[in-house]
Structure 1
Amino acid sequence: MTLRADLYWSFRSPYSWLAIGRYRAMTEAWDLEIDLRPVYPLAIRQPDFFERNHPNWLAYTFRDVVRLAQYHGIPLAAPRPDPIVQDLATRRIAADQPHIFRLVRLGQAAARRGRSLAFCAEAARLIWGGTENWHEGGHLAGAAAQAGLDLAELDAEADADADALDAEVAANQAALEAAGHWGVPTLVFAGEPFFGQDRIDVALWRMQQAGLAPRG
């Protein structure tokens, strides 16, 4: 019996990047379907979050993400450009955000087609894997094609149906909080949340308890 889980995920979260490839590999090795449900990052939901946080938070996060990428052998580079326009010196989030709304709406449009895990994994590989100007040229079109999707179709839907897509993303966030957490990446299986890239093995263990079997 195929098991299903929801993955709440953000394009701006480096921890989400460190998790998505491993969750995708899990669906290839096990009889498991993961529905990725994108959410807007904290920079959009709580723009003052970074200014309110402890001064050491951002520096520690950078250090932790780099060593985890090294530990897991996952490519990691600073996004060029960052999906969120932010002054890292002041930690202030810019009012104008030219990238993140498009990305999240594309991710939700892919979710409507049952292809969000594949699309977001391919797009995140561009953003966090070192592709300069990932938002230009044919980069995102190639990512969409790798996921079995057409970028022009997704972009047209993201423009024409932006309000409905945003409402679906807000519902994703509400569902995440109803499941017992608020941050990303969080996998929810059978109503139980597993927050963080360091809970993947625990989530797998729980699903194995529920009868998760290897793919034939």
Structure 2
Amino acid sequence: MTLTADLFWSFRSPYSYLAIGRYRALAASHELTINLRPVYPLAIRQPDFFERNHPNWLSYTMRDMIRVAQFHGIPFGPPRPDPIVQNVTTRAIAAEQPYIYRLTRLGQAASRRGKSLGFCHEVARLIWGGAQDWHLGDHLADATRRADLDLAELDAEAVEDAESLDTEIAANQVALEIAGHWGVPTLVFDGEPFFGQDRIEMAKWRMEQKGLRPR
């Protein structure tokens, strides 16, 4: 019996990146389907979030995500460019956002095809794995091809069907909150949320209780 779970996920979240490869490997090695459901990051949903945070929040998060990557042997580099345009000093979010809307709509278009887990992982490896100018040249096209998708097709859909895609993305956020959380990465299995990259083993443990088996 193949089990199913939903993974709520954001392109701007370093912890989402640090979790997705391990979740993808789990789905590949076990009788498990993970439906990745992208959401817009807090910078879009709550632009003042970073301004309201404790002054130590950013420095601690930077330190922690680097050591998590080192601990798990995951390639990690600062995003160049950041998917969110933000003033590093003031933490203010720019009004114009040329990357995150395109990325998230592409992720939802991939979700429509049942391939968002692979697509988002391949793209996240560019953004958070250290690729310079991931938005230029063939970077995204090659990553999309590795997920068995066509970037031109997804881009056309992201433009022509942007309103419907945004409605679906908003529904993903609502579903996440109904499941009992608000942040990413959160895996929801059998109605139970598992928040954070440090809950993967616990999520697997729970799924094993419900019959998860290797392929």
Q: Which runs of 5+ in 2 are unaligned?
A: none
Equivalent residue, structure 2, for 1:191: 191
User: Per the alignment, in what secondary structure is the counterpart of residue 95 of structure 2?
Assistant: coil
Paired residue type of 1:58: L
For the residues of structure 2 that align with 1:2 and 1:160, how far apart are their CA atoms? 34
- For residue 28 of structure 1, report the CA deviation from its aligned partner: 1.1
Equivalent residue, structure 1, for 2:159: 159
- After TM superposition, the runs of 4+ consecutive aligned structure 1 residues lying more than 2 A away are none
Matches within 5 A, 1:5-84: 5-84=5-84
Paired residue type of 1:114: G
User: Per the alignment, in what secondary structure is the counterpart of residue 86 of structure 1?
Assistant: coil
Give a deviation string over 1:154-211, Cα, whole Å, max 9, x none: 0000000000000000000000000000000000000000000000000000000000
Is structure 2 residue 95 aligned with structure 1 residue 95?
Answer: yes
For the residues of structure 1 that align with 2:112 and 2:29, how far apart are their CA atoms? 24
Equivalent residue, structure 2, for 1:137: 137
Equivalent residue, structure 1, for 2:113: 113
User: Per the alignment, in what secondary structure is the counterpart of residue 58 of structure 2?
Assistant: helix
For the residues of structure 2 that align with 1:53 and 1:134, how far apart are their CA atoms? 29
- For residue 88 of structure 1, report the CA deviation from its aligned partner: 1.1
For the residues of structure 1 that align with 2:57 and 2:164, how far apart are their CA atoms? 34
User: Per the alignment, in what secondary structure is the counterpart of residue 193 of structure 1?
Assistant: strand
Give a deviation string over 1:38-88, Cα, whole Å, max 9, x none: 000000000000001111101110000011111111010000000000011
Equivalent residue, structure 2, for 1:2: 2
Paired residue type of 1:193: P
Using structure 1 for the length normalisation, give the TM-score: 0.99
Paired residue type of 1:147: A
Equivalent residue, structure 2, for 1:168: 168
User: Per the alignment, in what secondary structure is the counterpart of residue 60 of structure 1?
Assistant: helix
Paired residue type of 2:60: Y
Is structure 2 residue 179 aligned with structure 1 residue 179?
Answer: yes
Give a deviation string over 1:86-120, Cα, whole Å, max 9, x none: 01111111111000000000000000000000000
Equivalent residue, structure 1, for 2:146: 146
Is structure 2 residue 210 aligned with structure 1 residue 214?
Answer: no
RMSD: 0.4
Q: Which runs of 5+ in 1 are unaligned?
A: none
Using structure 2 for the length normalisation, give the TM-score: 1.00
